[in-house]
């Protein structure tokens, strides 16, 4: 990258006190450009702030450099106010693509949303959800009784997918994780790894008796009948990480307990 690439920096922060204070310090040092005129966005907070920022800049072609002023910070770099521009120039780039979710509700309305981490289906009541899963038009699981199911990208494989005992996926892997949430029948089914070109469709069986909600990251639609999920290759998002601290390294370290 040329030394002039990141002249105009936009700073965004979560509502946490540490993040707000960090933004004030950085703006005083480096100035603050509006998103419409920025070369790069610096996000201050935790992983939730990074996820929100990725959604906010979708379509703007702006790279995002996150610094941890939150709790988890798996997607973030270490916070340091000094030499920010130099760190931006030296950063490694990770390009990711979101999922597109199309959810049809019981009234026939279609809702569309993007998910950077995962698309989830959840039971809305005390009764287990009953779901039928298709992959590329072929029914692979006629009936899954469960609390829910999710489809995660490699980026999202470190989030709720991991808590649901789904696999960790290296960022460069051309895969999606299909992971059940508290499966009851078939009891031993633990999910599947799918090629990222796969089109997944999930039908809600007995949807009037056993209502289900569909969630794309933090966008929720209730009382759905059918949800279709596919990777959106036309939309690209770029995250920047300090050398040696990229997501591939963090995912590898996570698998060895670090």
The annotated binding site for NAD(+) is made up of 47-48, 117-118, 147, 158-163
Cβ-contact 50, 64 below 8 angstroms: yes
C-alpha 131/C-alpha 210 separation (Å) is 10
C-alpha 38/C-alpha 60 separation (Å) is 10
C-alpha 30/C-alpha 228 separation (Å) is 44
At 248 the three-state DSSP class reads: helix
b/e per residue, 43-58, with b = 16+ CB within 10 A?
Answer: bbbbbbbbbbbbbebb
Binding-site positions read: 47-48, 117-118, 147, 158-163
Please list, in sequence order, all residues whose beta carbon lies within 8 angstroms of the beta carbon of residue 249, skipping any fewer than 6 positions away.
none
Among 17, 18, 39, 47, which one carries the catalytic annotation?
A: 47
Is the bond into 172 cis (omega within 30 degrees of 0)? no
Q: What number of H helices and E strands is found in the chain?
A: 5, 17
Is 56 one of the annotated active-site residues of the chain?
no
3 state SS for 10-64: EEEECCCHHHHHHHHHHHHHHCCCCHHHCCEEEEEECHHHHHHHHHHCCCCCCCE
Catalytic residue ranges? 47
């Amino acid at each position: 990258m040329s030394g002039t690439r990141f002249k105009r920096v936009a700073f965004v922060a979560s509502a946490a006190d540490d993040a707000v204070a960090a933004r004030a310090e950085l703006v005083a040092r480096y100035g603050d450009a509006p998103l419409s005129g920025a070369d790069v966005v610096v996000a201050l907070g935790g992983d939730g702030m990074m996820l929100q920022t990725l959604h906010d800049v979708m379509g703007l072609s702006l790279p995002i450099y996150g610094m941890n002023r939150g709790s988890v910070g798996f997607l973030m770099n270490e916070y340091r106010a000094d030499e920010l521009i130099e760190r931006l120039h030296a950063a490694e780039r990770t390009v990711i693509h979101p999922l597109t979710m199309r959810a049809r509700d019981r009234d026939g309305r279609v809702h569309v949303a993007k998910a950077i981490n995962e698309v989830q289906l959840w039971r809305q009541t005390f009764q287990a959800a009953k779901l039928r899963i298709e992959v590329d038009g072929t029914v692979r699981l006629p009936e899954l009784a469960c609390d829910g199911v999710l489809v995660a990208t490699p980026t999202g494989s470190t989030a709720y997918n991991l808590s649901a005992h789904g696999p960790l996926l290296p960022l460069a892997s051309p895969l999606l994780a299909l992971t059940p949430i508290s499966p009851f029948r078939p009891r031993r089914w633990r999910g599947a790894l799918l090629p990222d070109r796969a089109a997944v469709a999930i039908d809600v069986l007995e949807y009037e008796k056993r209502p289900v909600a569909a969630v794309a990251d933090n966008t929720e639609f209730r009382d759905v009948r059918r949800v279709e999920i596919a990777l959106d290759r036309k939309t690209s998002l770029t995250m920047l990480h300090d050398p040696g601290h990229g997501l591939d390294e963090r995912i590898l370290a996570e698998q060895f307990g670090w």
